[in-house]
Chains A and B, each alone.
Chain A
Amino acid sequence: MYPNRFDYESPTTVEEAIAILDRSGGEAKVLSGGQSLIPMLKLRFAAPATIVDINNIPGLDYHHVDDEGNLHIGALCRHVDLEESTTLADTHPTLAAAAELVADPIVRTRGTFVGSVCHADPQGDWAATMLAQGGYVVAQGPNGRRRIDMGDFVLGPFVTALAYNEMAVEAVIPGASGTPRGSYLKLERRVGDFATASVAVSLDMDGDVIRKAGCALAGVGGRTIDANDAISCLVGKTLTEDSIDQASDAVAAVAEPRTDHRGSDAYKRHIVQTFVKRILTNLARTEQKAA
């Protein structure tokens, strides 16, 4: 690998990292898991003057659920930490389903959840789960912390709302107000492939009535597709053949797929519809069994 020349900094506190970002006036990049940044450097698509490696900052590798049920994911929490969590499936089933579909097991040992969200790849899996669950990013800059909702965080492909002197320190995914239900389905050509199309669905249930519904899509647009409005037709309803059909049609309609070597736009839209339907049908079955 022969990237452009860069300076390497290895701060041990968040404050120090932010000071370096601030000093370098937009010419620096944070390195967390490196699973996206290093390939970009290697291909010389990215050529930052300074790399700020945050891996030596202690205390950022956590993930925990607070008293209100919100999941906090620290900037150095690796994909594998979420994959191996034994409680995630109960509190945040959509995330748990996605955890084993992100990249491949090797990448998952290094890549971070927050790094993935900051990378803002339209095919990124975690961003879709964040968007479907009303998650937000906690950014820290020279003037302290602020909260950026996921809906406002991504400005375009590979562009986020973070200022040049801000670092994402944490991602937060709210807990469910009722029983959390949800899943993630992804069409990939092989393990470690980015999504041809993928669907994150998250439901808060009150008995068999849907109190809140969230949905987002990856791989089928120039950015993560927000399908929360589309799936809101489920709110106040139960999962029936009709409501499921209506929701899957509505979600498929907001996808913005393009034809390429992975398939036609029509095919990708069809996959979105099929996946929404499959997720909801499976959830309906689980509800029936539970009842």
Chain B
Amino acid sequence: MALDELKIGGMGASRRRVEDNRFIRGKGKYVDDVVLPAMLHMEILRSPVAHARIKSIDTSAAWEVPGVRLVLTGETMAARNLAWMPTLSYDTQAVIATDKVRFQGQEVAAVVADDPYIAKDACSKIVVEYEQLPAIVNPDQAKDSSAPLIRDDKVNQDSNKIFDWEIGDKEATEKAFADADVVSSLELHYPRSHPSPLEPCGSIADFDRATGKLTVYMTTQAPHIIRAAVAMVAELPEHQIRIISPDLGGGFGNKVPVYPGYVISILASILTERPVKWIEDKSGNLISTGFGRDVYLKGEMALRKDGKILGMRMHTTSDHGAFFADAQPTKFKIGLMHSTFACYDVPAAYLTSDGYYTNKAPGGVAYRCSFRVTEAMFFQERMIHAAANDLGMDQAEFRRVNLVKDDMFPYRTAFGFLTDSGQYAKCLDLGLEAIGYSSFKAEQEEARKRGKLLGIGISTMTEPLGAGNSREYDIIGIKMFDSAELRVHMTGKAILRTGAKTQGQGHETTWAQIVAHELGIPADDIVVEEGDTDTAPFGMGTYASRSTPVAGAAVAMVARKIRAKARKIAAHLLEVSEEDIEWELGRFYVRGNEERGVTIQDCALAAYSNVPDGMEPGLENNAYYDPPNLTWPFAAYICKVEVDPETGVWDVLKFVAVDDCGVRINPMVVEGQIMGGLTEAYAMANMQYITFDEEGNCIGANYIDYLLPTAWETPGFELHEVVTPCPHHPIGAKGIGECATVGGPAAFVNAVMSAIEHTGVRNVDMPLMPNRVYDAVRNGQDVSGMPPVRVD
């Protein structure tokens, strides 16, 4: 008899997360928990100013502190050709500043000592003389002809502009505008934010001169890319480099790039011939590592009177900080911004982009999203909201008219993406029903009598996940496929390794469920291991919701290879030909004689003890999966808020989320991802951002200014599901790690705007802090969030 899939923790089981057992007990093993014999400790000295020429650095007093083993400056790095390193966007980035500091918090020196206290004491003894230069904190300033040249280190760089880029059909779009009855427009800033994983970045570099081997424990979401990068930067042979990414305390895109601290710790270990540990502090993480967003978006939409969208014209201006270090596929300069409007039937579209250097930290990481998709979807839903208003049409009705219909798939978007499945209108209607959309107008009237303003905001979107297919997606030339390796032991237990790297997503739980689904081996009998480049198969790591779409598919595929071999063994054991063998969960049997069968465990034992003639023993294999297309989950998020016009404070009255992420491997884990994502969306809409004052001082380099929401103020979320399986993914899954962070913010903002736009306001930039909302209501004017912020 076939096994009950839910009982063995297979697909669809809300199995408890196995990793939580050690996390809840405080038994996780993070980089900082690793202690190696004779290990030294490194601390980084950071620049207090945003833009300055370094006139001199005096490290003599630091060298004299007892217990100090090494003091590194830009000069030390330069002597080994390591003062600069390549970024993931084909630019260069300073490892330790030599000529100038270009943002507040930049690395200017490092001290290696017997313990971290000494290293920190010695850092404060380093004397740096700065000659301050004007700081540039937004692209407008960067463009100004009198602006100082930030990247004077680069030949042929005579302005602060990094790139111009375009995509789409300009002529067709112009024609759409010529035919339009109404043209709607919108401009906004998606503020700079920071992924802020609770565990900051860190590394322990251990270079063994005797063997020539470099082992690095590192907080990285992509250990294999790092190995390749280290091989290139440090000019070490790749087989002598081992990157181990142990338990990660969150990543959210922040742990994809290569950071100066990693490189410095590696050189420090080579120079001292001892292991060197570097653990960044919270402020160091916030002030210097990969930020998210910081994009100015504007666009116009061509509309027909009946509500049909005819075309879309958009321009983005992005602020990349001092170095162009975005982690994104090579082909695209502004990530997958052109995935914007993918869920709507937009016949013509054209996007232009430019990017600038500023005196701010570099990064441009995909903070819980595929590259720039959060900005794309936020703008989309804010634009849709504005357009519906301009037409005088109901928000839901306007979306219904323009959403891609179920029978239009596969659908080619105006920017060339191919969406393949979904039930968009069904999701929207389910959400409207749940929020009580039809009675909203009456509620709003009633609240006005109490002096409160009610608003309702909708955000519907599909987003591209799972980069990628190797035709289009690579990072520094490495194609974006992924892998899995499965070894079934003779007792039928198994170890699975993948090239992804879990950091809270629950791979140890869910990958085992995929194997359980494919092989009938109970999930509890499968251990999942990731993150060690010496043992895990090559993979591109975990970000951009790519694990389930790519590595998860590889898991299914390798399990199928194992099943194919087990089938041959089963035929041998049952003494029938392979064609006469049938499979049911966990068991092969003889067609027409269901009683005669062998379990997958029987096959595993036989693989090591009784293989047919001519067959290799053992039951293990690997699979590389190169997806044919991206995956396209859909979501409808609807939010109802109450705004206090006297203070600008707003509260969420109800939030409804309808997610269609295809087949759900573990519904509980999926819901956890949605809840977490919506919390971050709420954060973005309400409080979480990094800004700068006129001098380039970073406001948001600590948890007093950089606000992460807590359980106390985060609203409750009501979740609903629709399932449209992905047509090309082996188990029909689409990915869910990021939908809510991507689509969520616009629901909150549209809700607040709907409450206050009767005053004439069209846009308030995020975060919608009480003062901004109050100013907007009071003056009936838009509020811009562009830095610098005034600090008296």
**Residues in A lying within 8 Å of B, measured CB to CB:** 2, 4-5, 43-44, 104-105, 187, 189-194, 196, 258-265, 267, 270-271, 274
Name which residue of chain B comes closest to A273, CB basis: B646
Min CB distance B453 to A, Å, is 16
B116 interface residue, CB < 8 Å from A? yes
Interface window among B21-29, B412-420, B770-778:
B770-778
Looking at the complex, which one of B124, B687, B699, B774 makes contact with A270 (CB distance below 8 Å)?
A: B774
B790 interface residue, CB < 8 Å from A? yes
Please list 26 pairs of residues, one from A and one from B, whose beta carbons are closer than 8 Å in the complex, sorted by A's number: A2-B43, A43-B283, A104-B712, A187-B649, A187-B770, A189-B686, A189-B687, A189-B707, A190-B709, A190-B710, A192-B710, A193-B704, A193-B707, A196-B770, A259-B791, A259-B792, A261-B699, A262-B769, A263-B769, A264-B771, A264-B775, A265-B792, A267-B771, A267-B774, A267-B775, A274-B646
B705 interface residue, CB < 8 Å from A? yes
In the complex the two chains form, is B713's CB within 8 Å of A261's CB? no
Lowest 8 A-B CB distances belong to which pairs?
A: A263-B771, A191-B712, A258-B792, A2-B120, A260-B791, A267-B771, A261-B789, A259-B792
Known: A189-B769, A264-B775. 4 other contacts (CB 8 A): A189-B687, A190-B687, A193-B704, A193-B707
* B709 neighbours in A (Cβ, 8 Å): 190
* A274 neighbours in B (Cβ, 8 Å): 646-647
Name which residue of chain B comes closest to A277, CB basis: B646
Q: Mark B694-735, 1 if CB is under 8 A from A, else 0.
A: 000001000011010110110000000000000000000000
In the complex the two chains form, is B710's CB within 8 Å of A261's CB? no
* B790 neighbours in A (Cβ, 8 Å): 259-260, 264
Interface residues of B in 754-790 (CB under 8 A from A): 769-771, 774-775, 789-790
Min CB distance A199 to B, Å, is 12
In the complex the two chains form, is B792's CB within 8 Å of A261's CB? no
* B769 neighbours in A (Cβ, 8 Å): 189, 262-263
* A262 neighbours in B (Cβ, 8 Å): 769, 771
In the complex the two chains form, is A187's CB within 8 Å of B647's CB? yes
* A194 neighbours in B (Cβ, 8 Å): 704
A267–B769 Cα gap in the complex (Å)?
12
Min CB distance B398 to A, Å, is 33
**Residues in B lying within 8 Å of A, measured CB to CB:** 43, 116-117, 120-121, 124, 283, 646-647, 649, 686-687, 691, 699, 704-705, 707, 709-710, 712-713, 769-771, 774-775, 789-792
From A2, A194, A258, A267, residue with most partner B Cβ within 10 Å: A2
* A263 neighbours in B (Cβ, 8 Å): 769-771, 774
* A260 neighbours in B (Cβ, 8 Å): 789-792
In the complex the two chains form, is B121's CB within 8 Å of A4's CB? yes
Min CB distance A178 to B, Å, is 30
* B791 neighbours in A (Cβ, 8 Å): 259-261
* A271 neighbours in B (Cβ, 8 Å): 647
Looking at the complex, which one of B43, B686, B705, B774 makes contact with A261 (CB distance below 8 Å)?
A: B705
A259–B775 Cα gap in the complex (Å)?
13
* A190 neighbours in B (Cβ, 8 Å): 686-687, 707, 709-710, 712-713
* A2 neighbours in B (Cβ, 8 Å): 43, 116-117, 120
* B117 neighbours in A (Cβ, 8 Å): 2, 5
Min CB distance A234 to B, Å, is 21
Min CB distance A271 to B, Å, is 6
Min CB distance A268 to B, Å, is 8
Name which residue of chain A comes closest to B714, CB basis: A190
From B647, B691, B713, B790, residue with most partner A Cβ within 10 Å: B647
Min CB distance A265 to B, Å, is 7
A5–B283 Cα gap in the complex (Å)?
21
Min CB distance B383 to A, Å, is 27
* B120 neighbours in A (Cβ, 8 Å): 2, 44
From B704, B707, B770, residue with most partner A Cβ within 10 Å: B770
Min CB distance B666 to A, Å, is 30
A192–B792 Cα gap in the complex (Å)?
24
Name which residue of chain B comes closest to A274, CB basis: B646
A4–B124 Cα gap in the complex (Å)?
11
* A267 neighbours in B (Cβ, 8 Å): 771, 774-775
Min CB distance B420 to A, Å, is 40
Name which residue of chain B comes closest to A270, CB basis: B774
A105–B649 Cα gap in the complex (Å)?
22
* A104 neighbours in B (Cβ, 8 Å): 710, 712
